[in-house]
Amino acid sequence: MTEAPGGVQVVRTPEALRAVRQGLGPVGFVPTMGYLHEGHAALIRRARQENALAVVSIFVNPMQFGPTDDLARYPRDLDRDLRVCAEAGAQVVFTPDAGVMYPPGFSTQVSLTGVSEPLDGAARPGHFTGVATVVLKLLNLVQPDRAYFGEKDWQQLAVIRRMVADLNVPVQVVGVPTVRADSGLALSSRNSYLGTEQQARATVLSRALRAVQAAYAAGERDTARLEQAGLDVLATDPEVQPDYLAVVPPDLQRQPTVTPDPLNRVLVAARMFGVRLIDNLPLDPADPVPAALPPGGPA
């Protein structure tokens, strides 16, 4: 265990984590893959506000990267991350290496059906098995009272909620709204791959989502026509290579016609300049997310 600038305790093994965790609570937990930005800082601040102890994990999880994904070049800067953690109020940072998380002989995986299958589940086979496995391991290690996830990864949030409900994991999963740049671009560690002009062009994703919202506000309820309104915007930039743009209900199973629900969402994933970006918005921004959510539903 070491102490970083700002008084953050950095631990690298489960044993050291248990030592700093023991007897303290309530605990708020923010799992990350590092290269932290203001979106992560918002999660950490929320965890610190609502708990006695805020724990952040930094672990680039190889299990959730596919063969064509960017594991080798995924951005890493631990010193910078520790500064972000300290400034946002985290007291403990858990930074295990792959050998700690997946020791020799490791052979257990967590697989879900339903919410994990469409969208990113179809575009990135095996991705959510990697996510669910590492998140369950981290929840078991940290044993938090609350765990905080950004709404930018809406499907991931739904998958984690489903897993926690199905496996009776004693943690409250808290969704935190997406943090955006002034341009409307959703903050992401992968934005670091893009230059300033490229980031400006990447706002086409959020503009496409807003076009779908506008069509819905104008009375359109046909799913295909709503999605086409967003696809038309994506088509204005030849660099966009969409994986999907989908209007989905809370269970993420696309339907021909939209039934009003405050948890309806429009999600997009696309590659631009060789970088895969995702974003989402509520279908009806005037419809607040209810305080009480169905088991396994998104936050």
Cα–Cα distance for residue pair 244/55, rounded to 1 Å: 34
Q: What pLDDT band is residue 75 in, cutting at 50, 70 and 90?
A: confident
> Is the same domain home to 48 and 157?
yes
- Residue 290 is predicted with a pLDDT of 65
- Residue 1 is predicted with a pLDDT of 65
Cα–Cα distance for residue pair 246/236, rounded to 1 Å: 18
Higher pLDDT pick, 68 / 71? 71
Name the pairing type of β-strands 265-272 and 241-248.
antiparallel
Give the residue-averaged pLDDT of 71-93.
Answer: 93
> Is the same domain home to 194 and 172?
no
Q: For residue 197, what is the domain's CATH number?
A: 3.30.1300.10
Residue 39 is labelled as binding a ligand: yes
Give the residue-averaged pLDDT of 271-279.
Answer: 97
- The answer to the question of residue 1 being in a domain is no
- Residue 2 is predicted with a pLDDT of 77
Residue 289 has pLDDT above 80, yes or no: no
Residue 216's Cβ-count burial label (10 Å; 0-12, 13-18, 19+) is: buried
Q: What pLDDT band is residue 296 in, cutting at 50, 70 and 90?
A: low
Cα–Cα distance for residue pair 140/2, rounded to 1 Å: 22
- The answer to the question of residue 297 being in a domain is no
Q: What angle do CA 130, 135, 139 make, to 5 degrees?
A: 155
> Is the same domain home to 163 and 15?
yes
> Is the same domain home to 157 and 234?
no
Residue 68 has pLDDT above 70, yes or no: no
> Is the same domain home to 52 and 160?
yes
- Residue 71 is predicted with a pLDDT of 81
Higher pLDDT pick, 289 / 24? 24
Active site members? 40
Residue 192 is labelled as binding a ligand: no
Cα–Cα distance for residue pair 254/127, rounded to 1 Å: 20
Q: Which two tokens stand for residue 236?
A: 């204005």
If we measure between CA atoms, which residue out of 269, 36, 29 comes closest to residue 155? 269
Residue 38 is labelled as binding a ligand: yes
The H or E element that residue 29 is part of is: strand 27-32
The domain tally of the chain equals: 2
Count of beta carbons in the 10 Å neighbourhood of residue 47: 27
- Residue 19 is predicted with a pLDDT of 92
Higher pLDDT pick, 298 / 278? 278
> pLDDT, tens digit, for every residue of 31-57?
999 999 999 999 999 999 999 999 999
Interhelix angle 204-217/223-234, nearest 10 degrees? 150
- The answer to the question of residue 293 being in a domain is no
> pLDDT, tens digit, for every residue of 101-113?
999 999 999 999 9
- Residue 73 is predicted with a pLDDT of 81
Give the residue-averaged pLDDT of 144-153.
Answer: 97
Q: For residue 16, what is the domain's CATH number?
A: 3.40.50.620
- The answer to the question of residue 184 being in a domain is no
The H or E element that residue 217 is part of is: helix 204-217
- Residue 25 is predicted with a pLDDT of 80
Count of beta carbons in the 10 Å neighbourhood of residue 77: 13
Residue 150 is labelled as binding a ligand: yes
Residue 299 has pLDDT above 60, yes or no: no
Average pLDDT, the chain: 94
Whole-number percent of the chain with pLDDT over 70? 94
Q: Which two tokens stand for residue 21?
A: 């965790």
> Is the same domain home to 142 and 227?
no
**27 touches 52 (CB < 8 A):** yes
Cα–Cα distance for residue pair 299/295, rounded to 1 Å: 10
Give the residue-averaged pLDDT of 267-296.
Answer: 85
The predicted model scores a pTM of 0.94
Structural domain harbouring 119: 7-176
- Residue 97 is predicted with a pLDDT of 95
